[in-house]
Structure 1
Amino acid sequence: MTFRTLRYDADGRVATITLNRPEHFNAIAHGMPAEIRRAVEQAEADPDIHVIVVRGAGPGFCGGYDLKHYAERKGETGGSQEMPWDPTLDFAAMWRNTQDFMSLWRASKPTVARVHGAAVAGGSDIALCCDFLIMAEDARIGYPPARVWGVPTPAMWVYRLGPQMAKRMMMTGDLIDGREAVRIGLALEAVPEAGLDAAVERLVGRLRGIPRNQLMMTKTVVNQAYDNMGLNNTQMFATLFDGVARHSPEGLWFRERAQEVGFKQAVAERDSGAPIAAHVSRRPPRPAE
Structure 2
Amino acid sequence: MTTVTYQKDGRIARLTLNRPEVMNAINDDMPGDLQAAVERADADPEVHLMVLSGAGDAFCAGYDLAHYAADPDNKLTQPMPWDPMQDYQFMWANTQAFMSLFRAMKPVICKVHGYAVAGGSDIALCCDLVLMADDAQIGYMPARVWGCPTTAMWVYRLGPEKAKRMMFTGDKITGVEAADMALVLKSVPADQLDAEVEALAARMAGVPINQLAMQKMVINQTMEATLNQTQRLATVFDGITRHSPEGLNFKARSEDAGWKQAVEERDQGTFDWTRNRQIPGNRD
Q: TM-score range by the shorter chain?
A: over 0.9
Within-5 A mapping of 1:103-122: 103-122=100-119
Q: What is the Cα deviation at residue 271 of structure 1?
A: 3.3
Q: What is the Cα deviation at residue 246 of structure 1?
A: 0.3
The residue number in structure 2 matching 1:144 is: 141
Measure, in 2, the Cα distance between the counterparts of 1:134 and 1:278.
38
Q: Which amino acid is 2:247 matched to?
A: G
Q: Which amino acid is 1:271 matched to?
A: D
The residue number in structure 1 matching 2:266 is: 270
Structure 1 residues 47 and 163, CA gap change in structure 2 (3 angstroms): same
The residue number in structure 1 matching 2:124 is: 127
Q: Which amino acid is 1:16 matched to?
A: R
Measure, in 2, the Cα distance between the counterparts of 1:278 and 1:200.
44
Secondary structure at the aligned position of 1:145 is classed as: helix
Q: % of aligned pairs identical?
A: 57
Q: Which amino acid is 1:254 matched to?
A: F
Measure, in 1, the Cα distance between the counterparts of 2:234 and 2:35.
20
1:226 to 205, 223, 228: 223
Structure 1 residues 215 and 61, CA gap change in structure 2 (3 angstroms): same
Q: What is the Cα deviation at residue 278 of structure 1?
A: 5.0
The residue number in structure 1 matching 2:249 is: 253
Secondary structure at the aligned position of 2:178 is classed as: helix
Within-5 A mapping of 1:92-103: 92-103=89-100
Deviation string 1:19-44 (CA, Å, 9 cap, x unpaired) is 11111111112111111111111111
The residue number in structure 1 matching 2:194 is: 197
Name the Cα RMSD after superposition.
1.4
Deviation string 1:152-209 (CA, Å, 9 cap, x unpaired) is 1001000000001111112211111100011000111111111111100121122111
2:3 to 2, 5, 9: 5
Q: Which runs of 5+ in 1 are unaligned?
A: 282-289
Q: Which amino acid is 1:107 matched to?
A: A
Within-5 A mapping of 1:68-107: 68-75=66-73, 77-107=74-104
Give the alignment's TM-score, normalised by structure 2: 0.94
The residue number in structure 1 matching 2:282 is: none
Secondary structure at the aligned position of 1:54 is classed as: strand
Secondary structure at the aligned position of 1:95 is classed as: helix
Q: Which amino acid is 1:279 matched to?
A: R
Structure 1 residues 149 and 118, CA gap change in structure 2 (3 angstroms): same
The residue number in structure 1 matching 2:280 is: none
Q: Which amino acid is 2:41 matched to?
A: A
Deviation string 1:119-149 (CA, Å, 9 cap, x unpaired) is 1111111100000001010000111111000
Measure, in 2, the Cα distance between the counterparts of 1:276 and 1:122.
23
**Do 2:250 and 2:273's aligned partners in 1 also have CA atoms closer than 8 Å?**
no
The residue number in structure 2 matching 1:286 is: none
Q: Which runs of 5+ in 2 are unaligned?
A: 278-284
Q: What is the Cα deviation at residue 273 of structure 1?
A: 3.5
